[in-house]
Structure 1
C-alpha cells in the first residue's frame, strides 16, 4: 500500500485517500498503465474494550459471538481485526481486487472471510462497471468501514452502522463521475444479493438487492446519499412463529406480522462532513423500514474534533429511535384453559424478548486520536451507552438483572495501522 504523508492529514482527506488507494487495486503502483501490475497492502486494528455492565455484552457488530461486559469485562474482540488486499491492473480498462478480513465471528473463530472480490472494467474515464463481491455503497464510510485508521473514532457509531451489519453483496454496480459547476459527483447503481451464515444452520438471505448512491464533493465539504431495497429472509426463532400459529387467527396474524420471511427491507441514509483542515464536523442520519419484528427506526450521529499537531480530541453523539412498537400484548390469555394459558404466556414473553432487539439507544462519546506515525494511530475513547426502555439497544447476550434503564460505561484503547 502506498505510504501516506508523514504530516497528519485531515480525517476526510486521509480516509478518502486511503479508500482510493484500496479501491484502485493494482493501479496504485502501476508505472505502465498498459502493463500488468500487482499491489498488496493491508490494515488492522489491535484493541481492547472495558465495560462496567456485567449483564450484557457490547460489541461493534451483532455478527460477533462475544463482547465486553457479560462474557469478559475486558475484551479484545470488540474491534480487533486484520485485513489484506491484493490488486491487479491488466491494462487501462481491466483491473481486479480481492480483500480478505479476519475478525471474530459468531462461532468464536477468526476464520478469514472474503470482503471484496471483483473485476472492474473502465469503459471510459468517467464510467466503470464492476462484477463480483462489492462493498455496499451505504454510509459515509462505506468504502472503508472496516479500516479503523481511516476514521477518527475507535469504531463507527454502532447505532447507525449496526443497522446494516451486512457490508457487501454479490452482484454488479455501475459508477459514473460527473460535475455540476465546481461540485464533483460520483453516482452508483447496484444490484445483487448475499447470504450470511449464522449459527445452527440459521442464515440471513438478502435477495433482489438494488440501490443507488451519490457522493458529492466541493472543497472541504463532502456528502453521500444512498437508498437501497432488498427482500430479506432470516430463519430465526422459527419455533416462536410456529407456536403462535397454533393459536388460531390471532396467532397467524402475529406470525405474519413479525417473522422475517421474504420481507422487504428499505433503507435511506444521508451524511455529510466538513473538514477545512484544523477541525472537522460530520454527521449521518438513516431511516430503515421492514415489515417484521425489526420494524421501523431512525438513527443519527454527529461528531466534531479539533487537531493539535498529531493529536485530535473529538466528541460524538449517536442515537437510534424505534418508529414502531417495541412491545406487543401478543396472544390474548383471557378465557384460555390453564394448559394453554401457560404456553401462550411463554410465547408472548418470547415475542417481546425478540422485539427488544429493535434498537432504542443513545451514546455520548469523547476520545483522543494520536497519529503516532504516518501509518499508525492510537485512539483512547470513552462511551456512555444508554439503551431505552423495553429495548436492549445494540447490546446482546443479555442476562437477568439487565434492568429497564441500564447504563453502560465503556473505555477503549485502539491501535489502528495500515501497511
Structure 2
C-alpha cells in the first residue's frame, strides 16, 4: 500500500482516537474502570478487470483500493450485563475516510437473551455479521449479486435469544429501526429512506450443518425532485395518469426474504443462499439472487468454486408507455424509462479461487471471476488477490 494512503488511515484513526479519549475523560469516575477489549481486521486486496472492461468496481488498471479496508472494534463491559460496542472502518474505495459501522449499547437480560440499541448490522444473510471480515469466509468478498443490498446496517433496536431446538443450537433475532442510504437513480445520487423497518432471522446449527432464514419489511421513500416533476407531467397526460404512481415512491412497502445452508463436513464445504425482494410500486417489481459454493480443503489450503445469479423484473408499466408524438413527450418517455430501468439486472457469474492459511491469524487468497450480462451480451472477467488478517 502506498505510504500516502497509510498516512491518511493513521490520521483518520488518530482523529477517532482523540474523540474516544475525550469521551472517556467525560465518563464518571466509576466508569473509568470498565474493562475495554480491542480487536480488528484488515483486507489488502488487488484486482484487475479484463482489458477495456469494468466489473464490481474494477477496470483494466490494477487497483489496490476497491476492496481494501482496515477496521478497529472496541467494546467496554460496564458490568451487570451492560456493555457498549463500536466499530470504525477505513475503506480504500472511500479514500480511507473512517466511518462508524457499529455503535450500540447492549444489555443481557440473562444468559440467553440480549437487547441491543444503536447502530448495528442488519442480520439479513448468513455472513452479515462478518460482512467485511474476509478472514472469516472462503471468498475475498461475499458473493456480489446476493449481498449487494440497499443497506447492511441500520439504526434501531434488536433482541436476540439463544435456545435449543431438538439437537440444534439455535438463535433468533428480532429487529426494528430505520436507515437512510444513497442510491444512484437515473444519474442522480439520492438519499433513500427505509422507515418502519422490522424483521427477524433464525439460525440453526448442528455439528457440520447450519441453516439460516431471514425476513424484513420496510417503508421506502425516494425523495427526488426530478421524479416529482416527472410524476406531475404524467398526471397532466390524459389516459396515463397511472404512470405517476410508479415514478414517485413514498411510504411504499419493500419485503425481503432469505434462506441459506452451510455444510462443513470433514474436508468438504458447501454454502448456498437465495433471496428475494418485492416492492409495492417501486420501479423494480422484484429481485431474485442466489449463489452456491463448493470447496475442498487440502491441509491449510482451500480451493472453491461459486456460481451465482441476480435478476430483476422491471415494473411492467414500462410496456404501457405511450408512443412519442411530440418532442416533449419523447423526453418524458425517455426519462421515465431511465427511472424504471435504473436497477435492471440479469447477470450470471462464477468464481474459482483458493485460500492459503499460512498463519494462525492471516490468509492469502486468489480468485478469478467471470460475469455474463444477459442484457448487454457482454462478458467480463476479474482477477483478485488478497492478504487478510484479524488481530
Aligned-partner Cα distance in 2 for 1:245–1:274: 53
Question: Do the aligned partners of residues 355 and 313 (structure 1) sit closer, same or farther apart at CA in structure 2, a change above 3 Å counting?
Answer: same
Name the residue aligned to 1:304.
294
Task: Compare relative contact order (CA 8 Å, sep 6+) and give the higher one, 1 or 2.
Answer: 1
Q: 2:239 matched to 1:253?
A: no
Structure richer in strand, relative to its length:
2
Question: Do the aligned partners of residues 326 and 308 (structure 1) sit closer, same or farther apart at CA in structure 2, a change above 3 Å counting?
Answer: farther
Q: 2:188 matched to 1:204?
A: no
Aligned-partner Cα distance in 1 for 2:172–2:338: 43
Aligned-partner Cα distance in 2 for 1:252–1:73: 47
User: TM-score scaled by structure 1?
Assistant: 0.79
Q: 2:232 matched to 1:242?
A: no
Deviates more, 1:209-218 or 1:109-118: 109-118
Q: 2:37 matched to 1:39?
A: yes
Name the residue aligned to 1:119.
105
Native 8 Å contact 2:318 2:337 kept in 1: no
Aligned-partner Cα distance in 2 for 1:326–1:112: 41
Deviations 1:290-317 (A, max 9, x none): 1211320111110011111111110001
User: TM-score scaled by structure 2?
Assistant: 0.84
Deviations 1:264-293 (A, max 9, x none): 111000111010231210100001111211
Picking from 153, 158, 161, the partner of 2:144 is 158
Q: Which runs of 5+ in 1 are unaligned?
A: 1-34, 60-66, 390-403
Q: 2:390 matched to 1:405?
A: no
Post-superposition shift, 1:328? Answer: 2.0
- Within 5 Å, give how 1:305-384 maps onto structure 2: 305-325=295-315, 328-329=318-319, 331-333=321-323, 336=325, 338-351=326-339, 354-384=340-370
Deviations 1:75-126 (A, max 9, x none): 2233111111011112251111101112156xx5332111111111111111
Post-superposition shift, 1:345? Answer: 4.6
Q: Which runs of 5+ in 2 are unaligned?
A: 1-32
Post-superposition shift, 1:357? Answer: 1.7
Q: Secondary structure at the match of 2:79?
A: coil
Aligned-partner Cα distance in 2 for 1:249–1:188: 49
Alpha carbon RMSD of aligned pairs, Å?
A: 2.2
Q: 2:199 matched to 1:227?
A: no
Q: Secondary structure at the match of 1:275?
A: strand
Aligned-partner Cα distance in 2 for 1:383–1:37: 44
Name the residue aligned to 1:19.
none
> In the comparison of the two structures, how many residue pairs are matched?
353
